[in-house]
Amino acid sequence: MNLEILQVSDCPNVPLLQDRIAAALAGEQITAAITHHVVTTPEEADAHRMTGSPTLLVDGEDPFAERGLTAGLACRLYAGESGSGLEGAPSVSALRAALRRRMTGEAVLAGLIAWRGGAQPAGPIEHAVHRAILRRFAETGRPPRADQLADLAAGVSIEAVLDSLRESDVIQLDDTGRISSAYPFSGTPTAHRVTIDGGVEVYAMCAVDALGISAMLGGPHIGIVSVDPRTAETITVAVDGPEATAVPDSVAVFVGIHTGEGPSAETCCTLLNFFTDSESAGTWVDQNPHVTGMVIDLATATHCGAAIFGPLLAD
């Protein structure tokens, strides 16, 4: 874990922050590298997202960010223990909670990549049919019918092949046996509308799925229109291969799962959403304590999507 302290030169509250970080890490199974960055101009503060000195970044994110804080060189104050008073650094308990959330979140992120990346077709016939389904979604925005895939089944019942793909959790079927989704694509409307290279429109199962489509298709421009599930504010994202930008530029992504077993569509897809910023996502997390997960930045979420979906159509 990387802890970066953003500060002005000779900031009197940096020693207090360092002491409290040490106390928060004591007894925790957390390996942390601590660095300092001295900021000298307002422009540099804005570039590094320093909203007062000292600002602590945990793996590049400010766990104590608040709406209304602006970048600058002024002294930054934090709520004291139990919210009483203002102090020059976060409390030990607040720091410990932030570090624990990050460690839990890292495990969730690694688990998501391993879990979704491990969902693979059972054999070569299933693999060929799966790729055809993904290409059809990308070309038309809709899933193919079973009869359009029958020639790829090589004498095997196409219904049996589709059922195998469902069992492998790479597609979902509706009650009539028709394809309803094939990660990352959804055949029915979701909160994440995707435009591929300015043409075909399709829906993605979740935020991370939407972010992985460009890498899966070889890097075309992907436009995403989504919505913050807490505030209902519109969010737009542009993805080109491994790079993504968003409006607003503070967009964050929550990556989480419901406890219990089942296909991704039921256990995590509805929980992987865009938020206007990490504060909005954090508020949503506080309102949904039954959900396990983490808030990540757009770049990390895009990397996650590319890691899961990038290999699916690779030759």
Q: Are residues 138 and 225 in the same domain?
A: no
Identify the domain boundary among 44, 72, 101. 101
Cβ neighbours of 252 (radius 10 Å): 26
* Domain CATH code at residue 230: 3.30.450.410
Identify the domain boundary among 182, 204, 223. 182
Instruction: Yes or no: say if 195 and 262 are a contact pair by the CB < 8 Å rule.
Output: no
- Over the chain (315 residues), what is each successive 10-residue block's mean pLDDT? 95 97 86 94 95 94 87 94 86 88 68 74 94 98 96 91 94 95 96 97 96 96 98 97 93 74 53 93 87 84 91 88
Q: Are residues 202 and 94 in the same domain?
A: no
Q: Are residues 195 and 291 in the same domain?
A: yes
Q: Are residues 140 and 155 in the same domain?
A: yes
Q: Are residues 109 and 257 in the same domain?
A: yes
Q: Are residues 309 and 195 in the same domain?
A: yes
SS3 209: helix
pLDDT at 68: 82
pLDDT at 260: 47
pLDDT at 98: 86
* Domain CATH code at residue 127: 1.10.10
Instruction: Yes or no: say if 183 and 152 are a contact pair by the CB < 8 Å rule.
Output: no
Q: Is 210 exposed, middle or buried (0-12, 13-18, 19+ CB in 10 A)?
A: buried
Q: Are residues 279 and 146 in the same domain?
A: no
In angstroms, the CA 290 to CA 253 distance is 18
DSSP per-residue string spanning 147-200: GGTGGGGTTS-HHHHHHHHHHTTSEEE-TTS-EEEETTEESS--S-EEEETTTE
Residue 28: HSE in the Cβ half-sphere, 13 Å Cα cutoff: 22
In angstroms, the CA 100 to CA 310 distance is 30
The reported pTM is 0.69
Q: Are residues 37 and 132 in the same domain?
A: no
pLDDT at 265: 46
Q: Are residues 63 and 146 in the same domain?
A: no
SS3 270: helix
User: What residues make up the domain containing 65?
Assistant: 2-101
Q: Are residues 134 and 161 in the same domain?
A: yes
pLDDT at 116: 72
Query: How close are the terminal C-alpha atoms of the chain, in Å?
Result: 35
Q: Are residues 193 and 308 in the same domain?
A: yes
Q: Are residues 113 and 253 in the same domain?
A: yes
- If one counts the domains in the chain, the total is 3
